[in-house]
Amino acid sequence: MAGERQARVADRIRVVLAERLEKGLRDPRLGFVTITDVRVTGDLQHASVFYTVMGDEAHRNDTAAALKSATGMLRSEVGKNLNTRLTPTLEFILDAIPENADHISALLREARERDESVAGLAASASYAGEADPYVKPREHDDLDEDEDDEPEQGGEEHDDRA
């Protein structure tokens, strides 16, 4: 039950912060921010707010400073819209999802290029031995069959008298 309540409070905090940030903060340092996740402790005293920012490293640093300076105002906004006895403290954490996604995309691109180069090598490759290396039963030629039908010469003769 506590896990469900944590999830509901975290979701509500995410919605309240996203709506407030959509309206703006009057801080020119604030970039285009997206709240990706909120995690609340079991006692509902602390909320970790994960966010992403469009732009380069300078935009990320400026947005982090703007969010840090606006933490008090955002916390009071959360307190007004949250029906809990205590308002949780807010900690803003830059989410590494875009960087991880870029890294994974680069790895997939590299793997695709290697697969293409291996496919190119395989297309022009030839077998080291025979095309079908598995042993098959020998097929008898017509000459071999004729020789097998004749009795062997020089071998022992069977005596039919017995």
Please determine, for residue 8, whether its predicted confidence score (pLDDT) is greater than 80: yes
| pTM, to two decimals | 0.60
**Three-state SS annotation for the chain:** CHHHHHHHHHHHHHHHHHHHHHHCCCCCCCCCEEEEEEEECCCCCEEEEEEEECCCHHHHHHHHHHHHHCHHHHHHHHHHHCCCCCCCEEEEEECCHHHHHHHHHHHHHHHHHHHHHHHHHHHCCCCCCCCCCCCCCCCCCHHHHHHHHCCCCCCCCCCCCC
Q: Give per-residue pLDDT as tens, 89-125.
A: 999 998 877 778 888 999 999 999 999 888 888 888 7
Fold of 2-99: GMP Synthetase; Chain A, domain 3 (3.30.300)
Sequence ranges of the domains in the chain: 2-99
Average pLDDT value for residue range 70-88: 88
Q: Give per-residue pLDDT as tens, 139-158.
A: 766 555 555 555 555 555 55
Confidence band for 1, pLDDT divided at 50, 70 and 90: low
Q: Give per-residue pLDDT as tens, 23-72.
A: 877 777 877 888 889 999 988 899 999 998 887 888 888 888 888 988 89
Please determine, for residue 138, whether its predicted confidence score (pLDDT) is greater than 80: no
